[in-house]
Amino acid sequence: MAKRKRRESFGAIRKLPSGRIQASYVGPDGERHNAPQTFDTLTDARGWLVGQQAQILSGEWSRGVTELAEQSKRGRTATFAEYAEGWISTRTNRHGEHLRPRTAAEYRRLVAGPLLPFAGLRLSAITSEGVRNWYSGLVKSGTKTQAARSYELLKSILTTAVADGRIKINPCQVRGAASASTGRKVTPPTSAELQKIIDTITPRFKAAVVMAAWSGVRYGELTELRRKDIDVLESDNGEKAVVVNVSRGVTQVTGQGFVVGPTKSEAGVRSIVLPPHVNDIVIAHLRDHVAAGPESLLFPATDGAGHLGQSAFYRHWNPARVAAKRPDLPWHGLRHYGATKAAVAGATLKELQARLGHSTVVAAMRYQHTAGRDEELARRMSELA
For the annotated catalytic residues, the residue numbers are 218, 332, 335, 358, 367
Rounded to whole angstroms, the Cα distance separating 175 from 380 reads 43
The residues, ordered by sequence, that sit 6+ positions from 368 with a Cβ below 8 Å of its Cβ are 339, 340, 343, 352
The DSSP bridge partners found for residue 293 are none
Instruction: Give the strand pairing for 270-273 and 257-262.
Output: unpaired
Amino acid residing at 261: G
Which ranges in 120-179 belong to alpha helices (H)? 128-140, 144-163
Q: Contact, 343 vs 350, CB < 8 A?
A: no
Residue 84: left if φ>0, alpha if ψ -120 to 50, beta else—which one?
alpha
Rounded to whole angstroms, the Cα distance separating 111 from 296 reads 38
Rounded to whole angstroms, the Cα distance separating 255 from 235 reads 47
Rounded to whole angstroms, the Cα distance separating 167 from 117 reads 19
Q: Contact, 246 vs 229, CB < 8 A?
A: yes
Residue 142: left if φ>0, alpha if ψ -120 to 50, beta else—which one?
left
The residues, ordered by sequence, that sit 6+ positions from 19 with a Cβ below 8 Å of its Cβ are none
Is the Cα dihedral 256, 262, 264, 270 positive or negative? positive
Residue 239's φ and ψ, nearest 5 degrees, are -75, 140
What is the strand order of the sheet 270-273 is part of? Answer: 230-234, 240-246, 270-273
How far from chain centre, in Å, is Cα 314? 23
Please choose, from the candidates 37, 1, 36, 35, the residue with its C-alpha nearest in 3D space to the C-alpha of residue 17.
1
